[in-house]
Amino acid sequence: MAEFAIVMPLLLLLFMALIDFGRVVYAQHTIAEAAREAARVAMVTPADTQSKFDAIRAAVFTPGVAVSPSQIVGAPGACTSFASSGNTYDDTTSPTTCFYPDGTRSDGRVVVRISATVTLLTPIVSSIVGGSFTVQAQSIVYIQ
């Protein structure tokens, strides 16, 4: 009986650590797939309108992973290609990033980046590794 009392807490800790890290791997996979889907939506009918940017963000479906619209962004930097063509870039959610860094022309890039924070459930494990992990995914596709 004494062996059980010594071994059981260690086994429970190992089990809970596996659950926590399984959640992190699940979150990474989920947002990677969501970034691919959002990039596909952006590529199908490219447009530099707020409604298109909202549609890109709406395509992100992450069951079990909390992702807010502000965590779904494009490439770093403002969209300079739109300003040179007379269009205005009006992404009100993330004005310092760009889903279409090369414009909406054929062979232009579509960049979708997503980040999410996964909070660990096990207090002992979270105190050892820092309490949470930030997972990120990026998808780059070309407009056909």
Does pLDDT of 7 surpass 70? yes
Q: What is the pLDDT of residues 73-83, one digit of tens each?
A: 998 876 765 55
Q: What is the pLDDT of residues 8-43, one digit of tens each?
A: 999 998 999 999 999 999 999 999 999 999 999 999
3-state secondary structure (DSSP) of residue 107: coil
39, 52 in Cβ contact below 8 A? Answer: no
pLDDT, the chain, mean: 87
Q: Can you give the residue ranges of every domain in the chain?
A: 2-142
- At 81 the pLDDT is 56
Sequential DSSP letters for 75-86: EES--HHHHHTT
Q: What is the pTM of this model?
A: 0.84
